Structure 1
Amino acid sequence: MVRAASSPNSKGMRTVSDVVEVVITAPDADWLAEFARMLLDERLCAGGHSIERVRSLYRWQGDIHDKAEARIALHTRSVHVDAIISLANARHPYDVPCVVAWPIELGNPDYLAWVMAETRSS
């Protein structure tokens, strides 16, 4: 198994800059699961955790909305974030889909290595 570039911190965890969590929301859990499967097939993410119903409150075109949505948190390499955003922009049912990412700074080194091994390098 390929190890992610990492260094131990004072708690024995590993710091990894290449692994990120990408969160996407959508109005339909099935659409979001299908989108995630496509990303998995393309090796743009290693896996994800889906929540079928979250309550979203947001302002859109001057109105405040309070709606149910689905949410998924995907684990991948930072190099794939731009591709995931582009695919979401092209296929998502919303005009402006929520796709946000942040680095995974600490974690189980075996899990982080698995994310690196299960995603393509570029």
Structure 2
Amino acid sequence: MTEVQAALVWCPCPNIEVARKISEQLLQERLIACANMFPAMESLFEWDGGLSQASEVGVLFKTTADSLDALISRLGELHPYDTPAILGWTCDIAHPAVLGWLSETVGHTD
């Protein structure tokens, strides 16, 4: 069995409905094993030369390093923002049980 490396993707969404819809689609496509949603997040950011504010839902997606690029690409296609703040990274360390779960879940169509 090939060694699996865990990866995470962070992305804010405009509301819980969009976050759920995107998460469900990514689960169906087996690009993620889990999506943790953080509702009622306040975001302050620079946009178009000024300070902006938005109420958003943060989502942390759990996936594998092998699926990271495909997940980021697909998330960009599904996301309603013109410039979604999608950030992904690989994990240096993960519990063996989590690695087994990711290996069995992400990318498999059985």
TM-score normalized with structure 1 length = 0.79
Greater gyration radius = 1
How many residue pairs align between the two structures? 108
**Cα distance, 1:48 vs structure 2:** 1.7
- The equivalent residue for 2:49 is 62
Structure 1 alignment gaps of length 5 or more:
6-15
1:110 to 88, 97, 107: 97
Letter in 1 for 2:76: N
The structure 1 segments of at least 4 consecutive aligned residues displaced by more than 4 Å after TM superposition are: none
**Cα distance, 1:60 vs structure 2:** 0.8
Q: How many percent of aligned residue pairs carry the same amino acid?
A: 26
Which whole-Å deviations, capped at 9, do the CAs of 1:50-87 have from their partners, x for residues lacking one?
Answer: 11121111111111112111011111012222222222
Structure 2 alignment gaps of length 5 or more:
none
RMSD: 1.7
Counterpart-to-counterpart distance in 1, 2:100 and 2:48 = 42
- The equivalent residue for 1:91 is 78
TM-score normalized with structure 2 length = 0.87
